[in-house]
Structure 1
Amino acid sequence: MKTIYKAAVLIITVLFSSTAVFAQTKDKKANSIVQEMLTAMGGIKNYNATHFIQWDFVNRKIFWDKWTGDVRIENPIAKQVILVNINTLQGKVYENGLLLNDDNKTIELLVKAKNWWINDSYWLLMPWKLQDSGVHLTFVKTDQLPNGKMVDILQLTFNGVGVTPENKYLVYVDKKEHLIIQWAYYQNFNDAEPKFLKPWNNYQKVGSILLSFDRLNEDVGPKNVIVKSNFDASIFTKL
């Protein structure tokens, strides 16, 4: 018998939906830079039409039906397969090849899987999410990087959304290519120095859009990205 669980209390807020609906900030320059960037990456229409995305992140493998919110996360270290809908938190958990029947542990792992998905998705799809509701985007300055490239620097903060709303990011948009080429992560808004400054490079066309993955000179990040229109939907219902 199939067992379906739904968390009684949903603490975290979804940053991602099947389609991008922009809530533009008052910073017109920042909005203009993002619009140029999204056009260079294939356009929002093509992003919204993207149906299925699969990728690896650290030791996890993620499968996402972008239209329904169904997610499959394979976590081989813990010998887990978690099937969850990130919109409803309904799903199932398998451990060691067996369906988990502990309701409390199942709910705990469904929430954990959604948190993993939010994190892992952001490492892949952040450029497409800069104008989501609850995201505050501002233009900081135009600057020259040590390699000579001119960039527009945008500041990204959150207003009560996501798992860690106190975070801050700076994204560096190449003025010539109109693509993000690096990003800086600040654990807290007032931190003087970032926790990391990492490349956002190696853009590749998957489906009808550009995504950055298998990043050069970077061990951490999304890898082995696959975009499909046709796929076996049973991967979201069966082990």
Structure 2
Amino acid sequence: MKNLLFITSLVVVLSSCSKGSSSGEAADSVAVESEFIEYSNPPAEGFNQEDSDLLATLLADKTMQAMGGREAWDNTRYLKWNFFGRRSHTWDKWTGNVRIEVPDKDLTILMNIKSKEGKAMRAGLEVKDSLDHYLQRGYEMWVNDAYWLVMPFKLKDSGVTLKYLREDTTQTGSSADVVSLSFEDVGVTPQNVYEVWIDTDSKLVTQWAYYPDSSTLEPRFITPWVDYKKYGDILLSGNRGKNQLSDIEVLDEVPEGTFEEFQLN
């Protein structure tokens, strides 16, 4: 396998250099290390580097590059999308502010997903007594819905462990490398496990499988990640097979008051 050979050659070359290599070997080391510089993608604080596989980590870096690159992701500020027709999000990635609108509940939540502070409006009235409940629910909706949109950018997030599993094909027959994501002390359901298919050629995520926990033998679901389009400077996919993430936008600015005031009809 090409990637495995790359990793093996990296270990051999760096080992040779550490023992006193010739100038030719040193040049080879620089050439190999340059690929890591090209795919520079520092892990978030708390990423489980020690227990993650080197190959799985390299694949995560290549996926980040294929999606537009770390710099483009860091420079992306506002994202908007609709989650399966159920609710819409406007997210300020830099500050953590989010606006969640749930039409069938006549509910709007304005909150910061870092501090978990905010306010809610339901049926035209600002929520007071049960505000904590709605803010927690808003946080849970954002965690779930954002992961369905931007998971490929979060492969090296805090609390994540990456393991290389196998070479495989997707349900449509495309070749891919499969890595697993497990979590510790993060998110709403840290016991969940995902398997992610990373396309052999494009390095884009093309499929994922969800397991409620590590003891589950069969996935709860498998869905595609297809139909990537460029939004701003990054790629995003909204096609999850039977379900669709729609109205996807990457914005440089949002209307004044998006996160501060309720827009009453």
1:142 has 2:167 as partner = yes
Q: Amino acid of the residue matched to residue 89 of structure 2?
A: I
Mapped partners of 2:57, 2:191: distance in 1 = 22
Secondary structure, counterpart of 1:63 in structure 2: strand
- RMSD of aligned residue pairs (Cα, Å): 1.7
Specify the code of the residue in structure 2 equivalent to 1:62. Answer: H
The CA distance in 1 between the partners of 2:109 and 2:170, in whole Å, is 42
TM-score, normalised with respect to structure 2: 0.78
Aligned to 1:152: 177
Residues 20 and 234 of structure 1: CA distance in aligned 2, closer, same or farther (over 3 Å): farther
1:133 deviates by 1.4
Q: State how far apart, in whole Å, the 2-side matches of 1:113 and 1:38 are.
A: 28
- Compute the displacement of 1:147 (Å): 4.1
Deviations 1:57-84 (A, max 9, x none): 1310111011111111101111111101
- Could you tell me which runs of 5 or more consecutive residues in structure 1 were left unpaired when the two chains were aligned: 1-18
Equivalent in 177, 194, 207 of residue 232 of structure 2: 207
Cα separation, partners in 2 of 1:163 and 1:221, compared to 1, 3 Å: farther
Instruction: Summarize the Cα distance change of 1:147–1:109 in structure 2 as closer, same or farther, 3 Å threshold.
Output: closer
Deviation at 1:221, TM superposition (A): 4.1
How many residues align structurally? 217
Q: Secondary structure at the match of 1:234?
A: coil
- Percent sequence identity over matched residues? 37
1:81 aligns with 2:108: yes
Greater RCO (CA < 8 Å, at least 6 residues apart): 1
Q: Which runs of 4+ in 1 moved over 6 A?
A: none
Measured against aligned partners, the alpha-carbon deviations of 1:122-161 in whole angstroms (never above 9, x if no partner) come to: 0001001111110011000112346442210001100121
1:161 partnered with 2:182? no
Structure of greater Rg: 2
Q: Do the aligned residues in 1 keep the contact of 2:98 with 2:259 (CA within 8 Å)?
A: yes
Between the aligned partners of 1:93 and 1:63, the Cα distance in structure 2 is 15
3-state DSSP of counterpart to 2:243: coil
Counting helix residues as a fraction of each chain, which structure ranks higher? 2
Q: Is the 8 A contact 1:51 1:228 kept in 2?
A: yes
In structure 1, distance between residues paired with 2:89 and 2:99 = 6
| Structure 2 residues without counterparts, runs of 5 or longer | 1-41
Amino acid at match of 1:211: L
1:69 is aligned with what amino acid? G
User: Which of these residues, 197, 204, 208, is aligned with residue 172 of structure 1?
Assistant: 197
- 8 Å CA contact 1:24–1:31 kept in 2: the answer is no
